[in-house]
């Protein structure tokens, strides 16, 4: 046998008396915020997984450049003044 309706009602009344209506509604609001945050976290994780992995990707400036013809690559560069 399970608990009867009046036993469930007594337990609910005791919970409301002990915790108050304000605390219960605050608790349920916190639970709802937690669920929303969890869903947002899952959505962010899905977005990160859909982006390509760029580990080890060379930047355009780091690519090998051809050596200039007729000039030594070790020659000092002239600085612009001003």
**What digits encode the pLDDT tens for the residues 23-76?**
878 888 999 999 999 999 888 777 666 655 556 555 555 555 566 666 555 656
- The token duo for 34 is 């937690």
Q: How many CA atoms lie within 13 A of 43 on its CB side?
A: 6
Q: Where are the domains of the chain?
A: 20-46
Q: Quick one: pLDDT at residue 7?
A: 93
- For residues 16 and 24, the answer to whether their CB atoms sit within 8 Å is yes
Helix (H) or strand (E) segment spanning residue 23: helix 5-50
pLDDT at 49: 66
- At 42 the pLDDT is 86
Query: Whole-angstrom Cα distance, residue 37 to residue 30?
Result: 10
Which is higher by pLDDT, 10 or 66? 10
């Amino acid at each position: 046998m399970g608990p009867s309706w009046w036993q469930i009602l007594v337990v609910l009344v005791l919970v409301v008396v002990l915790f108050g209506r304000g605390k219960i509604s605050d608790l349920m609001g916190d639970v709802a915020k937690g669920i929303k945050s969890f869903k947002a976290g899952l959505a962010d994780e899905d977005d990160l997984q859909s982006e390509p992995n760029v580990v080890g990707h060379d930047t355009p400036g780091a690519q090998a450049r051809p050596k200039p013809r007729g000039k030594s690559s070790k020659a000092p560069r002239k600085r612009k003044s001003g």
